Amino acid sequence: KAGVTQTPRYLIKTRGQQVTLSCSPISGHRSVSWYQQTPGQGLQFLFEYFSETQRNKGNFPGRFSGRQFSNSRSEMNVSTLELGDSALYLCASAERAGGHAEQYFGPGTRLTVT
């Protein structure tokens, strides 16, 4: 079974731009969660989608948004990029909502904002 895939793997953007990241979950997984990982803050939860509905949301500003499609693929968008948005963005998929112990992470998208 193929793992979680994320595209692109690396991205460089300029302050003020917006970016869209994509995540394809493991086949059969309907939950997709997004995380931001930085050296100083560690891993921080952004949001979780299950069956196209946002179930949980972390403490991030409204510039961070996401969506999930009927095939469970998910995208996250960050608008008006700031330097502090530079991070590794990880998505994780699971069969059921809130299935943290059964989450499988993708390799991440490394976003650099200049």
Partner 1 sequence: GESVGLHLPTLSVQEGDNSIINCAYSNSASDYFIWYKQESGKGPQFIIDIRSNMDKRQGQRVTVLLNKTVKHLSLQIAATQPGDSAVYFCAERPTGNQFYFGTGTSLTVIP
Binding region for partner 1 (CB under 8 A)? 4, 39-45, 48, 55-56, 58, 90, 92, 98, 100-103, 105-108
Quick one: 37 or 79, whose CB is closer to partner 1?
Answer: 37
* Nearest distance, CB of residue 63 and partner 1, angstroms: 20
Kindly give the pairing relationship between strand 19-24 and strand 87-94. unpaired
Contact 111, 89 (CB under 8 A): yes
Contact 85, 111 (CB under 8 A): yes
Give the DSSP H or E segment for 9: none
Quick one: 78 or 92, whose CB is closer to partner 1?
Answer: 92
* Nearest distance, CB of residue 2 and partner 1, angstroms: 14
